[in-house]
Each structure stands twice: as C-alpha cells, then as structure tokens.
C-alpha cells in the first residue's frame, strides 16, 4: 500500500503524515482500488475495509477525524472539548487544526489540493482541503490565521506541503472561475493562463502556495508535490478525468 510523504515534512519531529494513492485496496471497477470515499457509489463495506487497512498500515492509534467537506472555508479547531461530539457527528468544514497528540486528521480529494501544515513550536497541525471554491475563499489562509489565534502559532515555526493535485495544464476553467479569482484574491488573475477563448488554465497549487506565503511562512518551508492527479491515472483518482464515478484519496496528519 504505497503513499507519499512531503520531503519538507518527512523528518519533522512529532509529525506523522501521508498522501495516499489509489493503490493497495479492495475496491473494483471505476473505484479500483484504495477508494476511501463513502459518497462515490462504491460499496460502503469495501470502503470501510479500505479505510481500516490504511489506518493499520499507517500505524494510527485510532480512526482519523474526517470533516464533512463542502468546498467552503470553515475551519474547525479540534480540542478535548468538542472531540467526542465531532466524532459522532462530523460538522461541515474543509479545514481542521488541532494541538491534540495522537488524534489523526484526514481529508479526502480527487484533484483538489490537500495541504498539511505543521507547527513544530506549539506543537500543532492543520489539514486543509482546497478545491477552486475553497482556494478562492482563502480556506488555507483562514486555517493559518485560526492556528495563530488558537495556539499562538508563529509562521517561522511552520512547514507546509501541498499534496498531489491536478496540474494547471490539465485544469481548464471558464470565465466565471477567472472572475471569481479576480474578485476573491489580490493575485487571482495571475493564477490563470489563457487557453482557448473563454477558457483558462488554473494553477491550484500556486493558489495555495501563495496563501501560505501570505501567512508569512518562510519560502524555504513551503513545498508542493509535482504529481498531477489527472495525468497519473494508474496512481491517482481524478474527478476531472473520470467524472463523479471515481474514488477518493486521503491526506492524513497526526501529532505523535
């Protein structure tokens, strides 16, 4: 069961993280093979087996907390006061931050970016799901500000990595998305390159890398995985390539 680790986080003390691939599970057909998403049309029992197999392979002490992702910019601060409630009824959110040790976090993707942020000073960890809707609403920047406020996180103590996601060469969007970025981010227009008339190529990785730099993380402590989920069909699921009938990967992070 292969997974990916970000070079900039691999040796971080007190952090476990992983970006999964589609390999190593039991799903068949369009979801082959390590589908981790329930809302994909796959057999739920098989997805549960896939999840259990992955959590065991990663050596997690318990199943991760997975929010109900809605492509928004809500951030959850997971702590001892709300942990049990959130486990029983996961709230809608696309970012989770915590200072709890031994509590894994996970978000699911299939082209969208997943970002792990590690604050070695507090310590604390953040995990963010950012598609174009979340990116244009600055969900990652909001997660960083939440860590600053909740934990006293300092930017210089943080390292962050953007996981495998769709590359700009494969991510064509329309004028509506370009205008949303122009309105939503001060550098929004810079993230889109002209393609055919009325169509643009969106750099989702750069949108999130810039938000980390906006939060004053040092440039040397910010990285992005070069793998394209759309191009690498044998390794990754891609909603843009395969439509809604496809699986989901996970990004997992935990303070050890």
pLDDT digits 0-9 by tens, 109-134: 999 999 999 999 999 999 999 999 99
Q: Which residues contact 233 (CB under 8 A, 6 or more apart)?
A: 241
CB 24 within 8 A of CB 6: no
Per-residue pLDDT of 132-181, as tens digits, reads 999 999 999 999 999 999 999 999 999 999 999 999 999 999 999 999 99
Q: Compute the average pLDDT of residues 98-109.
A: 98
Q: How much is the pLDDT for 244?
A: 84
Strands 95-98 and 75-78: parallel
Backbone φ and ψ for 184, nearest 5 degrees, come out as: -85, -30
Q: How much is the pLDDT for 214?
A: 96
**Which residue has tokens 């700009």?**
168
Q: Compute the average pLDDT of residues 36-62.
A: 97
CATH 3.40.718.10 fits 3-255, yes or no: no
Give the helix ranges, DSSP H, for the chain. 44-57, 83-88, 132-136, 139-151, 175-184, 204-214, 239-242
Per-residue pLDDT of 174-212, as tens digits, reads 999 999 999 999 999 999 999 999 999 999 999 999 999
Locate the domains of the chain by residue range: 3-255
Per-residue pLDDT of 63-86, as tens digits, reads 999 999 999 999 999 999 999 999
* 216 CB-side CA count, 13 A: 8
Q: What percent of the chain has pLDDT over 70?
A: 100
**Which residue has tokens 């891609």?**
238
* pTM higher than the cut 0.85: yes
Q: Is the pLDDT of residue 106 over 90?
A: yes
Q: How much is the pLDDT for 145?
A: 98
CB 228 within 8 A of CB 168: no
């Amino acid at each position: 069961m292969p997974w990916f680790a970000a070079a900039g986080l691999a040796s971080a003390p007190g952090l476990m993280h992983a970006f999964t691939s589609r390999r190593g599970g039991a799903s068949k057909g369009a979801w082959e093979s390590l589908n981790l998403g329930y809302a994909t049309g796959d057999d739920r029992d098989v997805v549960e087996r896939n999840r259990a197999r992955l959590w065991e392979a990663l050596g997690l002490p318990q199943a991760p907390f997975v929010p109900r992702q809605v492509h928004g910019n809500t951030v959850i601060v997971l702590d001892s006061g709300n942990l049990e409630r959130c486990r029983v009824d996961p709230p809608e959110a696309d970012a989770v931050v915590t200072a709890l040790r031994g509590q894994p976090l996970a978000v699911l993707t299939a082209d969208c970016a997943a970002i792990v942020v590690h604050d070695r000073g507090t310590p604390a960890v953040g995990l963010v799901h950012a598609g174009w809707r979340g990116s244009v609403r600055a969900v990652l920047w909001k997660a960083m500000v939440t860590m600053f406020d909740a934990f006293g996180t300092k930017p210089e103590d943080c390292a962050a990595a953007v996981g495998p996601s769709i590359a700009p060469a494969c991510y064509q969007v329309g004028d509506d998305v370009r205008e949303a970025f122009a309105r939503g981010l001060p550098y929004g227009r810079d993230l889109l390159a002209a393609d055919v008339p009325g169509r643009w190529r969106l750099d989702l990785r750069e949108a999130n890398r810039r938000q980390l730099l906006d939060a004053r993380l040092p440039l040397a402590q910010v990285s992005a995985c070069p793998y394209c989920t759309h191009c690498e069909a044998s390794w990754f699921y891609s909603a843009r390539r395969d439509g809604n009938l496809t699986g989901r990967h996970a990004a997992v992070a935990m303070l050890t």
